[in-house]
Structure 1
């Protein structure tokens, strides 16, 4: 038999991942989920989709109702418009769709009343 006897740690991990596929530890997935924030250029809809994807990985063995509750909270708490996220979370939305609509409305009405946020030095909002 022709086998490599001495493999480094990274080589072993690489071979295992190729053989069995990459599997994120549940603890790692939960930390990733709990620290997720909306990106500067990320739309509200894309942010919601990302939250749902992360929640599915983080809580894969838990009931759907729990996953939805956690997703709604993370969606609101991680929104880049902090005040709008706080306003929505205090309204206690019952679905992610409701949270999305309420967040979009809160952002829209804030901009109507106070104008758009200041443009950063990078040229984005």
Structure 2
């Protein structure tokens, strides 16, 4: 028997729903729009994250119990997802939470990896972010994006993008030319380059006091000799 709650939405008076009742579901109403039960299908090829959000929204709106959620989720599985459930349900007793987790591990992992790779490729050092913080953030992103790759490959990806994505492009280019084998070596190379650059560039705009004094004396002497020559030339012309 199905009763209506205070909002007029239908729900079961018992904590379970028979498979036959699940098959007889008509259109589910979500936020005033009819959502046909045929839309709640997952075959293992489309986006698991998109399906899960759609399913949970529908389940929350209709106030399904955990048992009802499990039955409707099982009913919605087709194709590879249906085969996955059929095989593992022979040896595992699923709850709604465990089935959702297993489906996510089986069909949602690829999406998470691809999303992590995009975030890793697009990451850039923030203007107020230190090299240490930039390295930590990039390493965390890489751990999710390349978790199934050898450690040497992960290190290579992190080192290259660490240099390429830093705010100091000159230091990053210099570090890449040194072909660092680890993140620590790359960071130290960049820091040393920045230290040397700052030391050299800081002296460009300043001349030593002695140099300034010598230049002033030389200019004064040059100016004096020029005046003497002009006076001599003027006297010679008059004579």
TM > 0.5: yes
RMSD value, Cα = 2.9
Whole-Å separation in 2 of the counterparts to 1:94 and 1:46 = 19
Q: Secondary structure at the match of 1:41?
A: coil
The aligned length equals 112
Work out whether 1:13 is the aligned partner of 2:100.
no
Instruction: Report the equivalent of 2:182.
Output: 95
Which blocks of at least 5 consecutive residues in structure 1 are unaligned?
116-125
Structure 2 length as normaliser, TM-score? 0.41
Structure 1 length as normaliser, TM-score? 0.76
Higher strand share: 2
Higher normalized contact order (CA 8 Å, seq sep 6+, divided by chain length):
1
String of CA shifts for 1:64-103, please: whole Å, max 9, x gaps. 1100000000000001000000000110001111111111
Q: Secondary structure at the match of 1:42?
A: coil
Work out whether 1:75 is the aligned partner of 2:162.
yes
The ranges of structure 1 where at least 4 consecutive aligned residues each deviate by more than 4 angstroms after the TM superposition are none
Alignment of 1:36-115 (within 5 A): 36-115=123-202
Whole-Å separation in 2 of the counterparts to 1:37 and 1:101 = 19
Q: Secondary structure at the match of 1:40?
A: coil
Higher helix share: 2
Larger Rg: 2
String of CA shifts for 1:40-64, please: whole Å, max 9, x gaps. 0000000011111111111111111
